Amino acid sequence: MTRGPKEHLGERQAPRRRRRVVWPLGSRLGRLIIVLNLLGLAILIGGALVLNEFRAGLIQTRLESLELEGEVIAKVIDEYTTVGEPVPALEADAAANVVDVLSIPSSQRARLFDASGRLLADSYVVADRVDQAPLPPALKPGQHEDTDLAKAREQRLETARKALTAEVQAAMRGEVVRNVRVAEDGKHVVSVSIPIRHVQAVLGVLTLQATGVEQIVAAQRRALLPFILIAIGVTLISSLLLTQLIAEPVLRLARAADRVRLQHARAIALPDLARRDDELGDLTRSLEDMTRAIAQRMQAIERFAADVAHELRNPMTSIRSAVETLELVEKPDARARLLRILALDISRMDRLITDISNASRLDAELAREQPSPLDLRPLLAQVAEFYEATRREGEVSVRFVVPAAADPVHVNGREGPLGQVLRNLIDNARSFGQAGSEVRINLIRGRGEALIFIDDDGPGIPADNLETVFQRFYTSRPKGAAFGGNSGLGLAIARQIIEAHGGRIWAENRLDAEGGVSGARFCIGLPLVGWAGASPHV
């Protein structure tokens, strides 16, 4: 069948689709992964917050007890060691004796400073205690201490002195200073500096510090260990669960795909995964549908190949018989008839090969061109004009019956393939028409679909063949029709194209007033653009 001008339009490249970021909360598996991953983290965070509050409470309690103890000592020092009027001051020896007679626990250290910041008493010195710190390794003869270690120790001591000095200076301004700082031995201590007041004058500062912060932190870490173990257990369980729910099903899908590829199976069948109501279930159902569609297409190709072989065998047999007989025939009339038979058979084979080629390329052509909104009114008008412009004298004419409504009728389609459908149907209708008759094209905007009717004035179609006319290689021609002029693929190709567009095609007979057949009608239904409902059958 000849291709019209509309079929030779340049192919349009399909636009690239931009990848959209899918929010995981809209996915069942995404929500599961997020919940399982956050569960272990939530346990750790919750445990850390609880224990952090516990540690802060312990330190706060320690600071309050040191402050209470320091206020008592400061009042005693103010009461018994203040001398001088009208400018009061601390009597250094008496104040040191007070610190000496007090029972300062070994875990605490008390230091007394006068108003100028001079150290008057230190409980470590009074109790003959010194700061304890690990000694550096013994040096060998001729070996010098590592400069970096010495600098680090000096820097640590300097940092501790500065922190203590800043705390004492703040207390000199009359403030009670609570602090957690680093001591000279590098350990963290809780410290309270209390100003010693006499009326409004600050006579000195009493600093109490206590160790045990490291013990509190160590206890907190030990308390956090159960939470860590629980979080690790939850993570392991969630990992195993994700493996069972995702990794293993994906592996099963991969193995099933390998079986289809290696063992020539026709479809993937994993019913237990297909029942899942998540993305893997969707993937399994999609793969099953895809392999089933591929299997059906393979079967269709096999049937098509068998039909092609059968259809080509008939003209080949006729040609072989004519060639073998041609050598034995001597009469000019008989030889002329055999040559005509050969020409008709060759014409039939050419027609078959052309239509078979068009049918085999149809899927690829439909896949290359993306459907787009198409107005059927100008397309039908152009097809009718093309036939009228190329019509010869005595041939059947083609007329497009312009609808009364001027509104466009848009469908999602491909202009080239739909034009081929119209030409196949019109050529079929013209082949049954008498000289001077007419083929009419009507367009109706139905409910949710556009309906195209192609009417002829021929003998009609037997009732039993209204469906079989769409089968491949089916031909039923009237007497006197040209031999080899039809391959039986035109209507099959038309149905394939229409179904690829989501539409439907069927045949029926037109009846006159007396109920007799007045011609055949081929009907096409294509969904309108934007119509979400199912196409009604009429």
Is pLDDT above 50 for 4? Answer: no
Which H or E element spans position 177? Answer: strand 177-182
Q: What is the pLDDT of residues 224-260, one digit of tens each?
A: 778 777 877 787 787 778 778 777 888 888 888 888 7
pLDDT at 22: 46
What DSSP character marks residue 196?
E
Contact 526, 450 (CB under 8 A): yes
pLDDT at 439: 92
User: Cα(255)–Cα(267) distance, rounded to whole angstroms?
Assistant: 13
**145 or 170: which leads in pLDDT:** 170
pLDDT at 402: 85
Average pLDDT over residues 347-376: 75
pLDDT at 214: 67
Lowest mean pLDDT among 247-261, 321-335, 342-356, 414-428: 342-356
Average pLDDT over residues 124-142: 55
Q: What is the pLDDT of residues 285-305, one digit of tens each?
A: 888 888 888 888 777 777 777
User: Cα(326)–Cα(317) distance, rounded to whole angstroms?
Assistant: 14
User: Cα(47)–Cα(52) distance, rounded to whole angstroms?
Assistant: 8
Is pLDDT above 90 for 524? Answer: yes
Q: What is the pLDDT of residues 10-50, one digit of tens each?
A: 344 444 444 444 454 556 666 677 777 777 777 777 766 66
In this prediction, what percent of the chain has a pLDDT beyond 70?
79
pLDDT at 132: 53
- The overall longest dimension of the chain from CA atoms, in Å, is 162
pTM of the full predicted structure? Answer: 0.48
Task: Grade residue 454 by pLDDT with cuts at 50, 70 and 90.
Answer: very high
Is pLDDT above 90 for 488? Answer: no
Is pLDDT above 90 for 452? Answer: yes
Task: Grade residue 533 by pLDDT with cuts at 50, 70 and 90.
Answer: very low
User: Cα(491)–Cα(469) distance, rounded to whole angstroms?
Assistant: 7
Residue type, position 431, single letter: S
Q: What is the pLDDT of residues 311-331, one digit of tens each?
A: 677 778 878 888 888 777 778
User: Cα(38)–Cα(49) distance, rounded to whole angstroms?
Assistant: 16
Q: What is the pLDDT of residues 93-106, one digit of tens each?
A: 888 888 887 767 77
Average pLDDT over residues 54-58: 68
Range of 50-59, 259-268, 375-384, 385-394 with top mean pLDDT: 375-384
Average pLDDT over residues 485-493: 70
Mean pLDDT of the chain: 77
Is pLDDT above 80 for 267? Answer: no
pLDDT at 458: 85
In Å, how far are 10, 376, 419, 479 from 369, measured between CA atoms?
Answer: 10, 18, 14, 40
Is pLDDT above 80 for 409? Answer: yes
Is pLDDT above 70 for 146? Answer: no
**410 or 215: which leads in pLDDT:** 410
User: Cα(118)–Cα(442) distance, rounded to whole angstroms?
Assistant: 113
pLDDT at 17: 46
Is pLDDT above 50 for 535? Answer: no
Q: For the chain, how many helices (H) and strands (E)?
A: 12, 14
Is pLDDT above 70 for 137? Answer: no
* Half-sphere exposure at residue 429, Cβ-oriented, CA atoms within 13 angstroms: 30
Say what angle helices 213-242 and 28-81 make with each other, to 10 degrees: 180
Average pLDDT over residues 372-383: 91
Strand blocks (E) in 183-299: 188-198, 201-210
Range of 20-34, 186-200, 482-496 with top mean pLDDT: 186-200
User: Cα(162)–Cα(169) distance, rounded to whole angstroms?
Assistant: 10
pLDDT at 526: 93
Which H or E element spans position 520? Answer: strand 517-527
